[in-house]
Structure 1
């Protein structure tokens, strides 16, 4: 066959006319080109069908969106008819108005002086404000903070720690930082915050130090362990959490019997660096169901 092909390519004009032309006409022109043409036509046919279906779906979706927007517009712009002296606002609008009214009431009731802030703190939380409260008041008023008297979140967050001895808290902090427990270690010594290790990159370390540097001069020497994960790392069963909460309220009651002072009354304790430990209170729950442990925080069902 190779010899025949060479003769066809190198032969006489008659051979080219009698050999190549029939081969070109019968093979190259008739079969493959017709096949390619058929494939192209089928491809264009299916492409046009898919394109038509896509435009039909887009049209239906656009019509549904227009109908929905028209319904929402009519709902919010429906004329209000007052019945029995009550407005018929949309429930969402009513919720927004009530929230704004509640916010304005809380904002307008904030203390306007340091003496008022101290008295309000003691009235709400049944204990005197923490040391250097006057420095804090100066800090927030310079930045025009609107909510000066609102400490509910932090009050309830640290209430269980009032039921622990300060020495216990310091010992636990040194213990947790004595092992690689995925905690960022920050030390405050002589009013200067220093990040030792454990942070997730400069954004976390630099941001934490920058925030602490603004008021670290008013804090005592301490070791701080920051959880670098988004989820909590310490789970206390609800039944066990009740005990330190009750003890914390007792400690606050004893503190409330003392006079109000804004001077520091921190524990005079020698600064201690974390030391390596050979045991760990954290457990590894990698590749396990997180909710099995987190649900221990929930109170018992009624």
Structure 2
């Protein structure tokens, strides 16, 4: 038998038909892997956002605009967080322990399998809100927690694998039923648990900063991760509290005679700018904005730290610029820790967040309907807003301090024209600081002319009849506009109502670009990235004109707006689905049931360790 060199042998293998099938299979597998990589890359690792060097028709260069940097930074932060996605129970459990310092709760494996079954994006960071909300409760007596949760007037109860809503809802919004239906979707996998809910628009718990800090310190001292052989998966249940039928615990409530700002700042850190700043005593003067304002959460005038931009403790001027602090529609607040779940809260409130009930309804006013709107190139280059004049109680001496009134006034050509022509300062807003912002329309005094063609905004309802007749001297009610018609515009500003704006999820799911200003935290904040999924606005709205000018004034700006709108829509269909809200509350209630259990320090999931 002859001998061959390595080169000759390799050539013989290529010519030998016996090796062809394996070589073809390898090639097909390689092609398939490359295709999978391309799909994943398109889905999660989009090509870098890069604006060409285009000069806008307004005569400014957008290539070095600060918004450009914020978009690129947001994209990098989003991808870095997404790189820690868990694809199997072992990784998920390990990441849980690393982040939380405990074993996952019993039932974590079934929860994670449900997440896999619905193709959910599971990143441990996306559940940070749960642990921010629950941390102080680990330092409180579980028997007391269970008793107070059980006796609240409106409770979603889980017993024997079924969820029921308990409470009189006659004449009230259908929140209890909506939340009960959500929990029923997964109740068969839950231990016995009570979820007491806040039936007001506004949050109700404002525990002083020092008390919360003490509870957080105690939780950290008592946190343990026992050896797997010492861990149990058996909850004690709620039979004892059901049999006891405890009376409702009613703490001391602060009512309308108190100024909410003075209550709220007690929950601010002593090191924060707002701590000890008193509420305004006289609101008759025009709304006041901080001079030469360069907040640490901003980059060249635009919001860079969304968490800080939402926090009233960092912005004492909001006492006179947001209706929640000027005069909320209703006020019933306590400084005690009582178990209460709700759809939104200030960063300093102590409710436990769940997805807002309006996000669970099919009402097109909130959901946006079945169609996300036309593609970007078919949209009108303009801004649209319709809504109630809510967000605070308007009075003759205070209406001009309310945030929604400021937004509508800023997009009203008549008001803007008066400000441009020097007819005195408007009551609600100031023109942009051109030493900070690139606002060509402000410099050229063409804001009013631009707004007249660009904006279609207005209130559809001012207040109950006879309650605010004085306001019609300043505003007129206009016809409502269905969400599908609003989606025909490129830009959708979003501002708080009496609490959070329940249209935000609908805006994100549309093909338009949401611009959001808020002081209210929600369940989904950790899974959305400002400047990649929506445009964050300062609560003063000082950046409103410059942002809209950037996005509408050049080809590069339009590309940037479309980039964010499309990424926000695509991402919302991955992480803001009904399935995602279901998974969030499922995991939250597993954690809550553990907090309420006498054996909470030994309860856990350790299946991956055995």
Normalised by the length of structure 1, the TM-score is 0.63
Alignment of 1:258 with 2:227, yes or no, is: yes
1:75 aligns with 2:54: no
Q: Give the superposition deviation at 1:173.
A: 1.9
Show the counterpart of 2:593.
none
Residue 167 of structure 1 deviates from its aligned partner by 0.8
Q: Is the Cα–Cα contact under 8 Å of residues 110 and 148 in structure 1 kept in the other structure?
A: yes
> 1:198 offset after TM fit, Å?
4.5
Once residues 268 and 186 of structure 1 are traced to their aligned partners in structure 2, the CA distance between those partners, rounded to angstroms, is 15
Asked if residue 130 in structure 1 is aligned to residue 127 in structure 2, the reply is no
| Equivalence for 2:177 | 206
Higher Cα radius of gyration: 1
Q: Aligned-pair distance for 1:163? A: 0.7
Shift of 1:262: 9.0
Q: Distance in 1 between matches of 2:101 and 2:190?
A: 23
Q: Tell me the distance in 2 between the aligned counterparts of 1:197 and 1:156.
A: 28
C-alpha RMSD over aligned residues: 2.5
TM-score by length of 2: 0.33
Q: Distance in 1 between matches of 2:229 and 2:173?
A: 41
Which residue in 2 is equivalent to 1:160?
A: 136
* Equivalent in the alignment of 2:241: 272
Runs of 4+, deviation exceeding 3 Å: 198-203, 260-263, 273-277
Judged with a 3 Å threshold, the aligned counterparts in structure 2 of structure 1 residues 202 and 191 are, in CA distance, closer, same or farther, namely farther
What residue in structure 1 maps to residue 121 of structure 2? Answer: 146
Tell me which residue corresponds to 2:214.
243
Among 191, 194, 199, the residue aligned to 1:228: 199
How much has 1:192 moved relative to structure 2?
1.0
* In structure 1, distance between residues paired with 2:168 and 2:257: 22
Kept after mapping to 1: 8 A contact 2:193/2:238: no
Q: How much has 1:184 moved relative to structure 2?
A: 2.2
In the alignment of these two chains, the number of paired residues is 213
> Is 2:87 the counterpart of 1:117?
no
Q: What corresponds to 2:262 in structure 1?
A: 292
User: Which structure 2 segments of 5+ residues have no match?
Assistant: 1-55, 273-610
Distance of 1:216 and 1:270 partners within structure 2: 17
Name which of 163, 182, 186 aligns with 1:215: 186
Give the aligned partner of residue 197 of structure 1: 167
CA positional deviation for 1:115: 0.5
- Secondary structure of 2:262's partner? helix
8 Å contact from structure 1 (residues 140, 148) kept in 2: no
Taking the aligned partners of 1:261 and 1:164, their CA distance within structure 2 comes to: 23
Residue of 281, 286, 290 corresponding to 2:251: 281
The one of 117, 133, 148 aligned to 1:172: 148
Assess if the C-alpha contact under 8 Å between 2:191 and 2:237 holds in 1: no
Give the superposition deviation at 1:298.
0.6
Task: Decide which of 96, 99, 103 is 2:71's aligned counterpart.
Answer: 96
1:107, distance to aligned residue in structure 2 (A): 1.0
Q: Distance in 2 between matches of 1:130 and 1:185?
A: 22
In 1, the alpha carbon distance for the partners of 2:240 and 2:157 equals 10
Say which structure, 1 or 2, has more relative contact order (CA 8 Å, 6+ apart).
2
Contact 1:220 1:266 in 2 (8 A): yes
CA 124–261 in structure 1, closer or farther in 2 if over 3 Å, else same: farther
CA contact (8 A) 1:184 1:195 kept: yes
Distance 2:229 2:267 in 1: 35
Q: Which runs of 5+ in 1 are unaligned?
A: 1-68, 81-88, 178-182
For 1:139 and 1:185, how far apart are their aligned partners in 2? Answer: 25
**C-alpha distance after superposition, 1:171-227 (max 9, x if no partner):** 22235x2xxxxx522221112111111457453122101210122222222332101
Larger helix share, 1 or 2 = 1
